[in-house]
């Protein structure tokens, strides 16, 4: 992309008002596309957002001989995985920095082809996202993992994959998805304890069940997967992206706006909605979506701790922090999922926010980062007026948060690196235009 095209000039200080539509969840759609690899035949995924991650996964699938048709206007992706083949290492490597999805190709490719090659992984720089959980899972299922390959990781299974008992020391979303995708066709039974149970994972379970998998879920975060001999294609409509919906809700709050998010659904957002109400925001749930607005008057400070589902989602906190800079008093955010998620606050401080980061755990939840020298707690004092400035986007959610700050600030801002935002926010420029934002 031309560097000049990767900058958004924003004139802030104007409330965002209007209606936008949010489609399927970024964190589910890409995984459902990978699941189609498990079955020869055609799969149809609906309510798909027009985001860059969808095109990255489409390209990766095509490199492996899969036919992919993306109807962006109608949000439908059709995948025919009848003929799967090994991709050229050099071709796969050209996409290696674009996404962390390739590691999830491992199980399906090993089942279909007997081997998989995984390039170096990309993704947002928000802290440690080790693939060790993924690789250990594959080893326990019987895979041989060669990490010494100069271009990435080579995975084989000379004797096929077999069921195993697997325990995750932390409920990692990626490792849970890896286990599900690898275990459904493994011989025998797999027990996965300590699993993540996010709504996007449960929607993936629904897809796999439609394909013919046998998966049960216990209340103690344990999945039991009985391997089957074959799977077939699926037709499925994705759940709505709860992260994008909450991001626009925070934008309404920060800009004193009023936004109706078509497609937003309440069940996946209950925890966020409780906090939104405590801060002083108003919302109305309808059959078609959720309306979020700033009712006027003071916003209230809150104390938040991020956690795995059903706790307060880590991807919700960054946009909300921008709104909290306008709350009357002291707010505390304790990040327990990623150790480096507060890097995005530095530009907010430069815009006028009062935010102090701490290495201590400012909360009551058990935290992996205690006494590990990570600044993973934030204290936000408000309200403080924000003033526009030049901003460099650090990652997907932090980038959208900076965009919110620019919209809430008085005066102009230049937001650099906005292509990162395209990874998870479909047509955000069109949505900003629909909400009356002043930008070019």
User: What residues are annotated to the active site?
Assistant: 124
The two most distant CA atoms of the chain are separated, in Å, by 66
Inter-helix orientation angle 314-324/270-279, to 10°: 10
The DSSP secondary-structure symbol of 96 reads T
Q: How many residues does the chain have?
A: 440
Q: Which of 300, 333, 302, 301 is nearest to 317 (CA)?
A: 333
Task: Report the candidate in 254, 320, 249 with the shortest Cα–Cα distance to residue 285.
Answer: 249
Q: Which residue has the tokens 């890896």?
A: 178
Query: Binding site annotation covers 241?
Result: no
Q: Is 74 one of the annotated binding-site residues?
A: no
The 3-state DSSP class for residue 145 equals strand
**What are the structure tokens assigned to 320, written together?**
């909300």
- Compute how many other C-beta atoms are within 10 angstroms of the C-beta atom of residue 435: 23
Q: 337 labelled as ligand-binding? A: yes
Token code pair at residue 18 = 């209007």
CA 293-298-304 angle, 5° bins = 80
The reply, when asked if residue 389 is annotated as ligand binding, is no
State the burial class of residue 40 (Cβ atoms within 10 Å of its Cβ: 0-12, 13-18, 19+): middle
Binding annotation for phosphoenolpyruvate: 26-27
Binding annotation for UDP-N-acetyl-alpha-D-glucosamine: 100, 315, 337
Binding annotation: 26-27, 100, 315, 337
């Amino acid at each position: 992309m031309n560097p000049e095209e990767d900058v958004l000039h924003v004139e802030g200080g104007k409330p965002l008002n209007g209606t936008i539509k949010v489609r399927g969840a970024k964190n589910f759609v890409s995984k459902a596309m990978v699941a189609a690899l498990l079955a020869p035949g055609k799969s149809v995924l609906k309510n798909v957002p027009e985001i860059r991650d969808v095109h990255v996964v489409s390209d990766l699938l095509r490199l492996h001989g899969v036919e992919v048709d993306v109807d962006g206007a109608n949000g439908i992706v059709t995948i025919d995985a009848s003929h799967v083949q090994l991709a050229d290492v050099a071709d796969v490597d050209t996409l290696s920095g674009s996404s962390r999805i390739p590691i999830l190709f491992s199980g399906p490719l090993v089942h279909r082809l007997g081997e998989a090659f995984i390039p170096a992984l990309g993704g947002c720089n928000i802290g440690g996202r080790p693939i060790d959980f993924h690789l250990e899972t594959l080893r326990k299922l019987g895979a041989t993992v060669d990490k010494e390959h100069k271009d990435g990781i080579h995975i084989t299974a000379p004797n096929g994959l077999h069921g195993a008992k697997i325990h995750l020391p932390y409920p990692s979303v990626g490792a849970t998805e890896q286990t599900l995708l690898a275990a459904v066709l493994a011989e025998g039974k797999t027990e996965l304890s300590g699993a993540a149970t996010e709504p996007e994972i449960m929607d993936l379970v629904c897809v796999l069940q439609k394909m013919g998998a046998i998966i049960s879920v216990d209340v103690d975060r344990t999945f039991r997967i009985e391997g089957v001999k074959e799977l077939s294609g699926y037709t499925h409509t994705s759940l709505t992206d709860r992260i994008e919906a909450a991001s626009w809700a925070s934008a309404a709050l920060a800009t004193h706006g009023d936004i109706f998010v078509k497609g937003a659904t309440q069940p996946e957002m209950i925890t966020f909605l409780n906090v939104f109400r405590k801060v002083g925001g108003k919302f109305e749930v309808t059959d078609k979506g959720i309306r979020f607005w700033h009712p006027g008057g003071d916003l209230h400070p809150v104390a938040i701790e991020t956690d795995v589902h059903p706790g307060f989602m880590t991807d919700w906190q960054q946009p909300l922090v921008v709104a909290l800079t306008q709350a009357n008093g002291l707010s505390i955010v304790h990040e327990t999922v990623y150790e480096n998620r507060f890097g995005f606050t530095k530009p907010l401080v430069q815009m006028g926010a009062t935010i102090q980061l701490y290495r201590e755990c400012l909360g009551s939840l058990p935290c992996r980062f205690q006494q590990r020298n990570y600044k993973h707690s934030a204290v936000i004092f408000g309200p403080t007026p924000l003033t526009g400035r030049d901003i460099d986007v650090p990652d997907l959610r932090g980038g959208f948060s900076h965009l919110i700050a620019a919209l809430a600030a008085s005066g102009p801002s230049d937001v650099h690196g906005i292509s990162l935002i395209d990874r998870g926010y479909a047509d955000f420029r069109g949505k900003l235009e629909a909400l009356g934002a002043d930008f070019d």
